[in-house]
A and B are shown apart, each in its own frame.
Chain A
């Protein structure tokens, strides 16, 4: 009995000794455990980013777990992230609801050696290693104006609907678009007449769109960076009998605006490929964990099959591939 005990102890000591042998703690370059949480689960856009990330992880020999609450609430997201950290992953991917509320738990994760990447919506800079940005502000502004040009090539009055005066990306888009209509010949055909706010709320966006059309009889295009407001404006145009006179455009999920494109009341909307955004994010994080990519300014990330991506300052990797949906192309996209 005693001998057995000693034998077991000896074996245990031997194993402990093996575990701390330096050759076994070398950096690995595959087999990472990545955990990913979107703003909320169940929404087609985020599910596609999850599928893209899973595909990348599979190809690279990593394991990717996708989880999260079913509605967007900062405290639930923090809880999810805390549960992630407990499970000791190598990397975490998230789309932040409140950039500051997630910071403490992410900083703690990074302290434990977990690599953190944000996509879609960034967290506070010190809380993550990199942010894979779908489009730069300038790109977003240009692609929305390009859509407006498809709607009315001869130009005219345009108005904006943003979420709120404090929504950073929406306000930046509007500022750049206004600038472009004054400085760049291609866009000089447009004249900005109004900016309204609708809080990403469907009913509010609808009312705002109706008001805009009443207040500005010569209005040609309503532009919104909100994927809620742009389709609501399209609905308002159709319901108030302005089809052919006023167009809505901006960022919208193809599934939300498909019918307007197909019945001809609208001509073009923009977005990006969520599957590929997820794919590139997981790929970038893998390369970072494997020590093959450092997200410093100017660094270039090469993603096989997809392309190369530049890093801007503060670890912002710009994915930057906008998509424009028209009647002919909208059928292809399933989100």
Chain B
């Protein structure tokens, strides 16, 4: 045991995979309705919107910052889409505009955080309220529902023999895109290096401010896409859209193994944690668990996600301890 082997697949992702399978087995024990391809794909619908936000948040978190205004940007996006639809624009014009609006909201966050060096939690707490307020002023609480079918396509139609929701395909595409960006390009490496040590990155020639602003803009753009999915799925645009969903998003990112202080983590971990949370919620929902019970289970998982690095360190120390003993013997 003197030679230490490095595993190719990160251990946390493996743990998540095992947990997903366990959650699937548990869910099928809980409810006879769980185990069906139709049902499982149908249930993914409810994770597309938080999932898109989690991908964006993961990028921001990799640089050591945070963005809790993303759910409010979704509301800005949905009411903007409703105004465009009411003005008679087609989806092909309206959709890019909404994504750009999302990116602009994100850029504003990024400029305040990166250029002016303000604490990201405070900035995005402020813009969370400001964007939500804006959505209420523009959209009012009555909301808009006269969307044309072309606006609903992304959230209501299915592909491959009427099984796979289009919104799921949108999420898979976005996940692959973000994965490539974060793990296969200079941009991604710069993000993680900034998260580890912004000063060292700056000395090494990384444009810290620009990179950070870009992560915020991309997260905002993903929130814009999430707004399109929201309208497609619910056919309703109101100021309170997606209110209160940010906690779930943060849970997914932290449980996925992203270090909340930046510099460490993988996009595949975030996707796996979304699958895990989705499976658990689907199973509990089908078994008609009470709302408070579900919240407790998700809360325990969040705490578990936060404690994970500490637990891993303890385990590593124990292992070293035993292997040292063995080496000594």
Is B285 on the interface with A (CB-CB < 8 A)? yes
A104 and B145 contact, CB distance less than 8 A: no
A166–B46 alpha-carbon span in the complex (Å): 28
B235 and A86 contact, CB distance less than 8 A: no
Q: Which of B242-267 contact A (CB under 8 A)?
A: 242-245
Q: Which of B127-149 contact A (CB under 8 A)?
A: 140-143, 145
Most buried by B among A35, A65, A68, A101: A101
A100–B234 alpha-carbon span in the complex (Å): 7
Of the candidates B140, B236, B281, the one whose C-beta lies within 8 Å of that of A74 is: B236
Is A79 on the interface with B (CB-CB < 8 A)? yes
Of the candidates B230, B234, B240, B291, the one whose C-beta lies within 8 Å of that of A69 is: B291
B234 and A104 contact, CB distance less than 8 A: yes
Most buried by B among A42, A83, A164: A83
B234 and A80 contact, CB distance less than 8 A: no
Q: Which of A48-78 contact B (CB under 8 A)?
A: 65, 67-71, 73-75, 78
Q: Which of A76-131 contact B (CB under 8 A)?
A: 78-80, 82-83, 86-88, 98, 100-101, 103-104, 124
**Interchain nearest-CB distance for B28 vs A (Å):** 13
A41–B42 alpha-carbon span in the complex (Å): 24
B234 and A98 contact, CB distance less than 8 A: yes
Give the size category of A's interface with B: 20 to 34
Q: Which residues of B contact A41 (CB under 8 A)?
A: 290-292
Is B201 on the interface with A (CB-CB < 8 A)? no
B141 and A71 contact, CB distance less than 8 A: no
B33 and A86 contact, CB distance less than 8 A: yes
A80–B291 alpha-carbon span in the complex (Å): 10
A42–B240 alpha-carbon span in the complex (Å): 22
Q: Which residues of B contact A40 (CB under 8 A)?
A: 291
If A82-B42, A86-B39, A98-B143 touch, does A74 touch B290 (CB 8 Å cutoff)? Answer: no
Is B268 on the interface with A (CB-CB < 8 A)? no
A83–B240 alpha-carbon span in the complex (Å): 23
A-B contacts counted at CB < 8 A amount to 87
B235 and A87 contact, CB distance less than 8 A: no
Is A167 on the interface with B (CB-CB < 8 A)? yes
If A79-B285, A100-B235 touch, does A166 touch B142 (CB 8 Å cutoff)? Answer: yes
A75 and B242 contact, CB distance less than 8 A: yes
Q: Which residues of B contact A69 (CB under 8 A)?
A: 291, 294
Would you give the 0/1 interface string for B263-297, flagging 1 where the beta carbon is closer than 8 Å to chain A?
A: 00000000000000000011001101111101100
**Interchain nearest-CB distance for B225 vs A (Å):** 16
If A73-B243, A80-B285, A164-B141 touch, does A68 touch B291 (CB 8 Å cutoff)? Answer: yes
Q: Which residues of B contact A86 (CB under 8 A)?
A: 33, 39, 42, 286
If A73-B244, A86-B39, A166-B141 touch, does A104 touch B235 (CB 8 Å cutoff)? Answer: yes
Q: Which residues of A contact B245 (CB under 8 A)?
A: 73, 75
Which residue of chain A has the shortest Cβ distance to B42 in the bound complex?
Answer: A82
Of the candidates A67, A68, A75, the one whose C-beta lies within 8 Å of that of B234 is: A75
Which residue of chain B has the shortest Cβ distance to A108 in the bound complex?
Answer: B156
A41–B31 alpha-carbon span in the complex (Å): 21
A70 and B288 contact, CB distance less than 8 A: no
A134–B26 alpha-carbon span in the complex (Å): 40
Q: Which residues of A contact B53 (CB under 8 A)?
A: none
B294 and A100 contact, CB distance less than 8 A: no
A98 and B238 contact, CB distance less than 8 A: yes
Which residue of chain A has the shortest Cβ distance to B237 in the bound complex?
Answer: A100
Which residue of chain A has the shortest Cβ distance to B291 in the bound complex?
Answer: A70
A65 and B291 contact, CB distance less than 8 A: no
Which residue of chain B has the shortest Cβ distance to A72 in the bound complex?
Answer: B244
Is B16 on the interface with A (CB-CB < 8 A)? no
**Interchain nearest-CB distance for A99 vs B (Å):** 8
Would you give the 0/1 interface string for A32-45, flagging 1 where the beta carbon is closer than 8 Å to chain B?
A: 00010000111000
Q: Which residues of A contact B244 (CB under 8 A)?
A: 71, 73
A37–B174 alpha-carbon span in the complex (Å): 33
If A87-B33, A164-B141, A167-B141 touch, does A100 touch B236 (CB 8 Å cutoff)? Answer: yes
Residue numbers of B with Cβ under 8 A of A are: 31, 33, 39, 42-43, 45-46, 49, 140-143, 145, 156, 230, 233-236, 238, 240-245, 281-282, 285-286, 288-292, 294-295
For the complex of A and B, 5 pairs with smallest distance between CB atoms: A70-B291, A100-B236, A67-B288, A101-B234, A83-B285
Sample (7) of A-B pairs whose CB atoms are under 8 Å apart:
A35-B288, A67-B291, A70-B292, A71-B244, A75-B230, A98-B236, A98-B238
Residue numbers of A with Cβ under 8 A of B are: 35, 40-42, 65, 67-71, 73-75, 78-80, 82-83, 86-88, 98, 100-101, 103-104, 124, 164, 166-167
11 further contact pairs, Cβ within 8 A, besides A65-B288, A87-B31, A104-B233 = A35-B288, A67-B290, A70-B290, A71-B244, A75-B234, A75-B242, A78-B234, A79-B281, A79-B285, A100-B236, A124-B145
